[in-house]
């Protein structure tokens, strides 16, 4: 049986197959977890989309699949070719996993200070890791990858930051899954990274219901939260249209760490730091939404699992912070 949702041109099979031919086919169709027990107000419900169940443990498997398959279809990526990509880790892992299965060599450029778990898994998939300066973040990784690409024109660089196949993955899969599972969604929250998730899901949800709010979680400019990008750093990915966002909420690192650990200890959900940040955003928004005295449903992206951050030691710490109000300056 095929279901077609009004207002959106995607098709869904009602029964998801349980036997698959390979791990690539298992990407997507992740569950929503009801975490409304943490909401500050009973009329505001919070649901988390658990992306850690993807093959390499993150939402970036969706983008990696789209980037590679689209490149194959267009002829940009040929059998036995080499893929080069700048990454903070998760997209690189997805590309390495898929690339290994489809016969490509994979080279990733990433900051030298990323957690060692990511490096170990990338190398396990057979990828070559090229390090950029540790203190300059992924912006430096992008510059270095572009230099390498110029010197090696036979390499294919998907360039997740500027490739429309990135948001396309979420427009065709992540957004429709949310609509299918929670048709009365009111607010969508995701971390501000490449912009792929926010743009793709945002477009999908807005087509379904223009009243749905799209909210970006970002770190304070003087804070570092793994997997998130501050636009104040000076680089805005080409696929990111800031005008498409309804709001941007700045989250302090301490808040992200607090909720990352609390989700583990109180809900049994082992997620990465960016998920703690997006959940902190959801908690803040429950206060704002409750003032309307209307029932609201928030969907927040839990982008990856926590095992890639174990070496940071954050899961063994007890964090405390004072619940802060949403600062007016963070709203557009």
User: Please, are residues 201 and 171 in contact by the beta-carbon 8 Å criterion?
Assistant: yes
Whole-angstrom distance, CA of residue 277 vs CA of residue 218 = 8
Q: From the CA atom positions of the chain, what is the Rg in Å?
A: 19
CB burial string 73-85: b at 16+ within 10 A, e below: eeeebeeebbbbb
For residue 12, what pLDDT is reported? Answer: 44
3-state secondary structure of 83: strand
User: Please, are residues 3 and 14 in contact by the beta-carbon 8 Å criterion?
Assistant: yes
Whole-angstrom distance, CA of residue 210 vs CA of residue 147 = 41
Give this prediction's pTM.
0.89
For residue 232, what pLDDT is reported? Answer: 58
The catalytic site residues sit at 60, 274
CA dist list (Å): 177 to 14, 171, 232, 300: 11, 10, 32, 13
3-state secondary structure of 249: strand
For residue 1, what pLDDT is reported? Answer: 36
For residue 15, what pLDDT is reported? Answer: 61
**pLDDT averaged per 10 residues, the chain (length 332):** 43 64 96 96 96 97 98 96 94 97 97 89 96 88 96 96 97 98 98 95 98 92 62 78 94 91 96 95 90 89 92 80 43 32
- Ordered domains of the chain (ranges, CATH): 22-58+167-330 (3.40.50.1100), 60-151 (3.40.50.1100)
- The maximal CA–CA distance of the chain, rounded, in angstroms, is 59
For residue 135, what pLDDT is reported? Answer: 83
Tell me which residue has tokens 């080069």.
84
Whole-angstrom distance, CA of residue 278 vs CA of residue 275 = 5
């Amino acid at each position: 049986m095929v279901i077609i949702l009004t207002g959106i041109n995607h098709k869904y099979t009602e029964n998801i197959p349980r036997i698959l031919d390979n791990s690539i086919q298992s990407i997507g169709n992740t569950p929503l977890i009801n975490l409304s027990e943490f909401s500050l107000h009973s009329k505001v419900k919070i649901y988390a989309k658990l992306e850690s169940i993807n093959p390499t443990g993150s939402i970036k498997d969706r983008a990696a699949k789209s980037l590679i398959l689209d490149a194959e279809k267009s002829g940009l990526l040929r059998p036995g070719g080499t893929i080069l990509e700048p990454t903070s880790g998760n997209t690189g892992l997805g590309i390495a996993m898929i690339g290994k299965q489809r016969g490509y060599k994979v080279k990733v450029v990433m900051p030298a200070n990323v957690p060692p778990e990511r490096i170990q898994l990338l190398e396990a998939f057979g990828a070559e890791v090229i390090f950029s300066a540790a203190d300059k973040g992924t912006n430096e990784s992008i510059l270095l990858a572009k230099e390498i690409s110029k010197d090696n024109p036979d390499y294919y660089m998907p360039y997740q930051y500027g490739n429309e196949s990135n948001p396309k993955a979420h427009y065709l899969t992540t957004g429709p899954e949310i609509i299918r599972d929670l048709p009365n969604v009111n607010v969508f929250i995701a971390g501000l990274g490449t912009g792929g998730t926010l743009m793709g899901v945002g477009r999908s949800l807005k087509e379904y219901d223009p009243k749905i709010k799209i909210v970006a979680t970002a770190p304070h400019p003087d804070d570092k939260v793994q997997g998130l990008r501050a636009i104040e750093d000076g680089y805005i990915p080409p696929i990111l249209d800031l005008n498409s966002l309804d709001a941007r909420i700045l989250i302090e690192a301490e808040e992200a760490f607090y909720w990352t650990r609390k989700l583990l200890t109180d809900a049994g959900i082992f997620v990465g730091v960016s998920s703690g940040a997006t959940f902190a955003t959801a908690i803040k928004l429950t206060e704002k939404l409750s003032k309307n005295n209307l029932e609201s449903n928030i969907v927040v992206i839990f982008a990856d699992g926590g095992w890639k951050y174990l070496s940071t030691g954050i899961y063994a710490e007890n964090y405390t912070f004072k619940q802060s109000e949403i600062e007016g300056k963070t709203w557009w």
